[in-house]
Amino acid sequence: MSSAGIGDQVRALVFDVFGTVVDWRSSVIKAGEQLSQETGQTVDWPGFAEEWRRVGYHEQIARIRAGTAPYETTDVFMRHKLDELIPKYGIRGLSEQQIDWLHKVWHRLDPWTDSVKGLTRLKKKFVIATLSNGNVALLTNMAKHGGLPWDAILSAELVEKFKPEPEMYLSAGRFLGLPMDQVMMTAAHLRDLYASREHGMKTGFVRRDPEWGPNGKIEGEPDRARIDVAATSFLDLADQLGA
Amino acid sequence: MSSAGIGDQVRALVFDVFGTVVDWRSSVIKAGEQLSQETGQTVDWPGFAEEWRRVGYHEQIARIRAGTAPYETTDVFMRHKLDELIPKYGIRGLSEQQIDWLHKVWHRLDPWTDSVKGLTRLKKKFVIATLSNGNVALLTNMAKHGGLPWDAILSAELVEKFKPEPEMYLSAGRFLGLPMDQVMMTAAHLRDLYASREHGMKTGFVRRDPEWGPNGKIEGEPDRARIDVAATSFLDLADQLGA
């Protein structure tokens, strides 16, 4: 089936956000370096960003999904981890205002350079919405920060379940009033896409190798039996979907 | 306290939608008249619109709130009422496609003439979101139809409670991550505003007399002890809030 065909079958695109729409790694490092300048201390901000994301975010979501930690929003558990990482990385003398500002960097992540242009084109043909593990306030503030033109904010907070739990994917069809096969999950992460596929969604992969940092392991090649569209950017995605 | 002061205390405006942002009455009558033309029959569309709204919507929400009807989305119960009203008003020979199109007129309600301009101004200073008893798909599709530039879609569907239940108002602060007194409920209906006030919200009244039709009873004068801003349009509201 051609991609053009897919573009005519789909009514809505829902997006993973961290890594797919915005560059969390560079944004967190940049905020940290600004704090270093303000406070005159050297910190391993690349390591800090990596650990905040990998342990504070991914591992905490795994614990919540496993039932070994209670449900909390991303804002809440990312703050808990931040309070551990500050002493661990030897950071001293931050005011509560500075800590809150660093915590809220996740509300101010910068879009990849093609994100706003691509979303603006896609919005003309499709409903575009987030489908992110981030909480509603985080996603709403991030959209204002970066100019992301979402039609709706869909979030783990609305169902109190995190991807890849089925409830999250199913909520997209339910809230948008569409059959699952008219909704395309769009992500830079194959695991997210393959999980969405099990619930009947269309799948759009966008390669974002810089997410993984200079030494990281990039995403592999998509299994084209489970991926409807593979794109190099949101502009390429819009081209392939006829938007 | 001056209105300018209020504009600096508030971070987000959440809006009632039916009647406040969009003109449901004219939009429903217009859709009905188009169906009359297509099918060559005369129908009391003003009466039809009034009954669909008053009985199909308001009275059904009252039943759900009282526990005498189960929770359903507005899309679902408005369709049930439509299926009763079609024979009651002597309408014959509609195809399923025409019935669905009429049902979905609530997704295509036209904004009041000042709504988009006013919201666009307000969005530059505040987070703007719906806080409507309408379901998410309805509100999302309506925004695309009318060009309403919401930052987020907040809906009864997210909490499965209808205004004026406390959970609805409280959900605005929770989802937007703001103290209740930094969120302004904005509506053409004093009952909605007074209820929001009981949960600590700021209140903005916008007069929309045409909502009530040529023979309807318009909204009375606001009790200024419970209303922070009273405006004649969204442009006036933006002026008063310094947006």
Q: Which residue has the tokens 């808990």?
A: A80
Looking at the complex, report in whole angstroms how far the Cα of residue B195 sits from the nearest Cα belonging to chain A.
Answer: 23
With CA atoms as reference, the chain A residue closest to B144 would be A151
pLDDT at B130 over 80: yes
Q: Are residues A125 and A214 in the same domain?
A: yes
| Residue-wise DSSP of B1-49 | --HHHHHHH--EEEE--BTTTB-HHHHHHHHHHHHHHHHT----HHHHH
Judged by DSSP in three states, B22 sits in strand
Q: Are residues A185 and A160 in the same domain?
A: yes
Where do runs of H (alpha helix) occur along A90-233?
A: 96-103, 115-125, 136-146, 156-159, 166-176, 190-197
pLDDT of residue B145: 98
Q: Are residues B209 and B119 in the same domain?
A: yes
The average pLDDT across A63-88 equals 98
pLDDT of residue A1: 43
Dist. CA B122–CA B40, nearest whole Å: 44
Q: Domain of A57: which CATH number? A: 1.10.150.240
Q: Strands (DSSP E) along chain B, which ranges?
A: 12-15, 127-132, 152-155, 183-187, 202-206, 229-231
Residue A190: half-sphere exposure toward Cβ, Cα within 13 Å: 13
Q: Are residues B124 and B214 in the same domain?
A: yes
pLDDT at B4 over 70: no
N residues, chain B: 243
A-side interface with B, Cβ within 8 Å? Answer: 75, 127, 129, 135-141, 143-144, 151-153, 157-158, 175-178
Q: Chain A residues with CB inside 8 Å of B141's CB?
A: 127, 177
| Residue-wise DSSP of A197-224 | HTTT-EEEEE--GGGG-TTSPPP----T
Q: Are residues B218 and B131 in the same domain?
A: yes
Q: Are residues B222 and B124 in the same domain?
A: yes
- Cβ contact (<8 Å) for A177 and B137? yes
Tokens, residue A226: 């489970």
* Phi-psi group of B92: left, alpha or beta (phi > 0 → left; psi -120 to 50 → alpha; rest → beta): beta
**End position of a domain, from candidates A107, A141, A164:** A107
Judged by DSSP in three states, A110 sits in coil
**Tens of pLDDT, residues B68-107:** 999 999 999 999 999 999 999 999 999 999 999 999 999 9
Tokens, residue A27: 């944004």
Looking at the complex, report in whole angstroms how far the Cα of residue A222 sits from the nearest Cα belonging to chain B.
Answer: 31
Containing structural domain, residue B138: 3-23+109-240
B129: nearest Cα among B5, B8, B10: B10
Report which DSSP code applies to B135: -
Q: Are residues B121 and B192 in the same domain?
A: yes
**Tens of pLDDT, residues A175-222:** 999 999 999 999 999 999 999 999 999 999 999 999 999 989 999 999
**Tens of pLDDT, residues B183-223:** 999 999 999 999 999 999 999 999 999 999 998 999 999 99
pTM of the model: 0.96
| Residue-wise DSSP of A47-85 | HHHHHIIIIIIIIHHHHHHHTSS----HHHHHHHHHHHH
Dist. CA A39–CA A94, nearest whole Å: 8
- Cβ contact (<8 Å) for B177 and A138? yes
Label residue B1 by pLDDT band (50, 70, 90).
very low
Rg, chain A, Cα only: 18
Q: Are residues B210 and B132 in the same domain?
A: yes
Interface test with B, best of A78, A123, A154, A158 (most B CBs within 10 A): A158
Return the axis-axis angle of helices B96-103 and B74-88, rounded to nearest 10°.
120
A55 vs B3: which has the higher pLDDT:
A55
**End position of a domain, from candidates B107, B125, B154:** B107
- Cβ contact (<8 Å) for A140 and B157? no
pLDDT of residue B215: 87
Q: Domain tally for chain A?
A: 2
Q: Are residues B136 and B180 in the same domain?
A: yes
**End position of a domain, from candidates B107, B125, B158:** B107
Q: Are residues A95 and A151 in the same domain?
A: no
pLDDT of residue A4: 53
pLDDT at A84 over 80: yes
pLDDT at B114 over 50: yes
Report which DSSP code applies to B216: P
- Cβ contact (<8 Å) for B141 and A129? no
Q: How many CB atoms lie under 10 A from the CB of residue B164?
A: 19
Q: Domain of A125: which CATH number? A: 3.40.50.1000
Report which DSSP code applies to B202: E
Tokens, residue A217: 């392991």
**Tens of pLDDT, residues A7-51:** 999 999 999 999 999 999 999 999 999 999 999 999 999 999 999
The average pLDDT across A126-141 equals 98
Dist. CA A13–CA A126, nearest whole Å: 7
Q: Are residues B18 and B134 in the same domain?
A: yes
Q: What average pLDDT does chain B have?
A: 96
- Cβ contact (<8 Å) for B143 and A151? yes
pLDDT at A3 over 60: no
How many contacts (CB atoms, under 8 Å) link A and B? 55
Label residue B30 by pLDDT band (50, 70, 90).
very high
N residues, chain A: 243
Q: Are residues A103 and A115 in the same domain?
A: no
Q: How many helices (H) and strands (E) does chain A have?
A: 12, 6
